[in-house]
Structure 1
Amino acid sequence: MKLVIADDHAVVRSGFSMILNYQSDMEVVATAADGIEAYAMVGKHQPDVLLLDLSMPPGESGLIATGKISEDYPDTKILILTMYDDEEYLFHVLKNGASGYILKNAPDEELVSAIRTVYSGGTYIHPKMATSLVKEFVKNDGNAGTDDPFKILSKRELEILPLVAKGYGNKEIAEKLFISVKTVEAHKAKIMEKLSLKNRPELVEYALKKKLLNF
């Protein structure tokens, strides 16, 4: 099977590539440092499985990339690489098309097994994190997500909000996302309207509360 590894740490990409290329049925055909590069590599190589880090600052996060890749390249299975502090996003990532997730510090044999599981059409959920997933599912099912930014905002708005909160100007955001300044301004206005925010300090407070700055 063909694999692509996306992680912002070169040592992780190299280590995982070494482990996986050692397997007789696996080949790492490309690596990427963020979500944008991952999308490009998936488009170029059409891999069977993409190992995707959830948090890749300062580039595009795995949370955003998952939705784009699963929509445009549905034949590529996505296995999320994560650490414990990413638990609150896992429910949303799985809903966006990921086939499972595994902790970065998992044993080599578990990583290989997880890849084979999603490749064969299954879903891999790390045992230690299954409880968190169930709790998140129950919480979302119970309150209909009325205060959930992932349901309120569009994918583009979820990209722009943390950049605004971090202090980037309209021109800088436009350059980062390859869109026009006017488009950025329109999205910012829509974000403020949807979230009932009056100014940037309120937006920063919202981003911190919802832990969106990790994007």
Structure 2
Amino acid sequence: MILSQHRLVSEAIGSAVSSIHSKRLLHQCTNMELALIGIKQKPPELIITDYFIGQSTAHILLKYMERHMIKVPTIIYTDSQIGLKALISRHHVSLVHKNSSIKELLRAIDVTLNNRTYIDSTIAYELLKPNSSEPSIDLLSEREVEVLNCYLNGLKPIEISEKLHISTKTVRAHKANIMEKLQLNSDIELAHFGITHHII
């Protein structure tokens, strides 16, 4: 199964994989909900998925399979380093950088189908770099942690404002500071940070 919100990417990966592994039926999916239904009905031989799928992340897919005791070798392709250490410490997955070649992906497929883990050199270098450190919640002030928890629990700025007795302008300023300190660029990355650091 190939899971990507981008049809072009999904078809390109499918074409490359089919050229080498022609006997394997490839199911392409652009939606996390449909993928979860398909996986539960008939688990595929292999899953190749983008790390970000719409508003979801690969963590949701892996937790779903874990909860339903479904074991499928999985390759995640990504260009984000955020949360990868937590991901590989909790799940048996292979990782391929989005800038890798098709040849690298095919190597990852062969390794993964032989029940081994593959981490491409670009990601391995970043994970093992001595000065590489993921942003930590310890960088945040006590108030920023409160605001972060509210956001991660789905509250809107006006609701956070009422709950914490601060203005919505202050709520937005705290969120901007949180995003900067944690080196995050989107709400999806913020949600991912919450999941990988067990905040939500």
Query: Where on the TM-score scale, by shorter chain, does this alignment land: which range?
Result: 0.5 to 0.7
Who is 1:178 aligned against? none
Residue 41 of structure 1: aligned partner: 38
C-alpha distance in 2, partners of 1:43/1:72? 8
Deviation at 1:49, TM superposition (A): 1.4
Asked if the contact 1:31–1:41 (Cα under 8 Å) also holds between the matched residues in 2, the reply is no
1:79-106 CA-to-partner distances (Å, cap 9, x unmatched) read 10112xx012211221231421112332
The AA in structure 1 aligned to 2:71 is D
Q: How many residues get paired?
A: 170
Which residue number corresponds to residue 56 of structure 2?
Answer: 60
Q: Quick one: which amino acid aligns to residue 17 of structure 1?
A: G
1:27 alignment partner, SS class: coil
| Max Rg structure | 2
Partner of 1:75: 71
Per-residue displacement from partner, 1:38-92 (whole Å, max 9, x unpaired)? 32222122012111111223x3122332333244344201110112xx0122112
Which residues of structure 2 form unaligned runs of 5+?
Answer: 141-147, 165-169, 190-200
Contact conserved, 1:48 with 1:75, CA < 8 A, in 2?
no
Supply the distance in 2 between the matched residues of 1:163 and 1:37 (Cα, whole angstroms): 24
Aligned partner of 1:26 in structure 2 is: 24
Alignment pair present for 1:161 and 2:135: no
How far, CA to CA, are the matches of 2:28 and 2:154 in structure 1? 25
Confirm whether residue 206 of structure 1 aligns to residue 178 of structure 2: yes
CA 1:18–1:164: 2 relative to 1, 3 Å: farther
TM-score, length basis structure 2: 0.67
Cα distance in 2 for partners of 1:122, 1:5 equals 19
Residues 90 and 137 from structure 1, CA distance in 2 versus in 1: closer, same or farther, beyond 3 angstroms?
farther
C-alpha distance in 1 between matches for 2:40 and 2:179 = 31
Alignment map for 1:107-122 (pairs within 5 Å): 107-122=101-116
Q: Which moved more, 1:123-132 or 1:202-211?
A: 202-211
**Equivalent in the alignment of 1:125:** 119
RMSD: 3.6
Give the 3 Å change call, closer, same or farther, for CA 213–146 of structure 1 in structure 2: closer
What does residue 176 of structure 1 align with? none
Q: TM-score, normalised by structure 1?
A: 0.63
Identity of aligned residues (%): 15
Structure 1 spans left out of the alignment, 5+ residues? 150-156, 171-184, 193-198
Return closer, same or farther for 1:20/1:91 CA change in 2, 3 Å cut-off. Answer: same
CA distance, structure 1, for counterparts of residue 15 and residue 139 of structure 2: 39
Change (3 A) 1:136 1:21: farther
How many angstroms apart in 2 are the aligned matches of 1:16 and 1:148? 39
Q: Which amino acid aligns with 2:178?
A: Y
What's 2:198 paired with?
none
* Cα offsets for 1:17-44 (capped at 9, x unmatched): 112122235321x222243333222212
